[in-house]
Amino acid sequence: MASSTQIKALMQSYIDKDDDRFLSVALQVAAHEARNGHGKLAQELKLLVESAKKISAKNLPISIASGVKDSSGLLTTTHPKLRFSNLIVSSEVKDQLNRLVKEQKHLATLKNHGLSPRRKLLLAGKPGTGKTFTASVLAGELDFPLFEVRLDAVITKYLGESSAKLRQIFDTIREVRGVYFFDEFDALGSHRGNSNDVGEARRILNSFLQMLEQDNSNSVIVCATNHIEALDHALFRRFDDVIRYQLPSKEEIIELFKTRLQSYVASNFSWKKLPLISEGLSNAEITLAANDAIKEMLIYDHNSITLSMLQQAIEGRKKISQHFMV
């Protein structure tokens, strides 16, 4: 018979709606029965668990935007297939992200020992450095749907409405396991003491902080900001990790260009000259410059992309970037 500890764990996982832990404990009960010589019962339990896993796998997540609780389009849903090999960032950033993925994949094991996997991330850095792309990569690695929160639909001028919409989102975070991405998070997380702040803005932020801290779901929450200095310091302790994104290094610049242009350039192309030419550009701007060069080659029917063609595309991107510099 199952031990009292196992029975309590089964009940608690049922209350928490934690299917992974429930099935993990059920397998422990099966193993316990097998050790006690109840082979038939153990086999029946194992078959039931396997059947439950198959049913769970068939239950595709449903988007709140499709009408689960909301019809105002608070979330947009995609199912990315990206992997870490598609993400070009520093090894330090990749290590932090990989740690989260590994802990998520061992969720049941960690919970059985009273531990919680990393699941709340704050990504900070300049625009175009890979924060949004990271959310897609995490969803791809975990085979989760990606839910992007539309803050423009959340934040309204009506008293109390924004907090109610946040509650809808956090209800879905609890009910539908996925990666939930809050982009331009500083719209919610600005300093509560800011002289330009208003009462409703403070209430929205306080609601978010409370919901984030109380959330104990199995979903991954990713928040991104271009202005970490504008965030309220009370936010940081609510996250498992704060990851800083920088402009690409020399090696990363070459890798970004090679990933996009390898099949469009001659075998003797001077990759080593690109870091100096591209200094100051973000990951996204480098990708756009590479795409501009490919378009140039195709439109004018060139055999391949030359260094001068790519340099022209890079300078074009630098000029655009300068318009947004203060």
For 16-40, the three-class secondary structure string (H helix, E strand, C coil) is CCCHHHHHHHHHHHHHHHHHCCCHH
Domains of the chain (ranges; CATH) run 4-58 (no CATH), 64-245 (3.40.50.300), 250-322 (1.10.8.60)
Q: Report the residue count for the chain.
A: 326
> Model-level pTM greater than 0.85?
no
pLDDT one-digit tens code per residue, 160-211: 788 888 999 999 999 999 999 999 877 765 544 554 445 566 777 788 888 9
Give CA–CA dist 223/238, Å, rounded: 11
Q: Among candidates 2, 219, 225, 25, which has minimal Cα distance to 108?
A: 25
For 88-131, give the DSSP string. ---HHHHHHHHHHHHHHHTHHHHHHTT-----EEEEEESTTSSH
What amino acid occupies position 90? Answer: S
Alpha carbons 67 and 56: distance in angstroms, whole number: 21
- Identify which of 20-34, 49-63, 79-93 has the greatest average pLDDT: 79-93
Q: At what angle do helices 283-299 and 307-322 cross, to 10 degrees?
A: 130
- The single-letter code of the amino acid at 195 is S
Residue type present at position 263: S
When comparing pLDDT for 123 and 5, which is higher?
123
Q: Where is pLDDT greater, at 31 or 238? A: 238
Cα–Cα distance measured from residue 241 to residue 95, given in angstroms and rounded to the nearest whole number: 12
pLDDT score recorded for residue 70: 40
Strand order in the sheet with 220-225: 75-78, 146-149, 179-182, 220-225, 120-125, 241-245
First-to-last C-alpha distance (Å) of the chain: 70
Mean pLDDT of 115-131: 95
Average pLDDT over residues 268-294: 96
Q: What pLDDT was estimated at residue 217?
A: 94
**How many CA atoms are closer than 13 Å to the CA of 312, on its beta-carbon side?**
11
Residues 6+ apart with CB under 8 A from 194: none
What is the DSSP code (8-state) at residue 67? T
Q: What per-residue confidence (pLDDT) applies to 125? A: 94
Q: Check residues 285 and 322 and name the one with the higher pLDDT.
A: 285
> At a CB cut-off of 8 Å and minimum separation 6, what does 168 contact?
64, 69, 70, 74
Residue 277, pLDDT above cutoff 90? yes
pLDDT for the residue numbered 17: 66
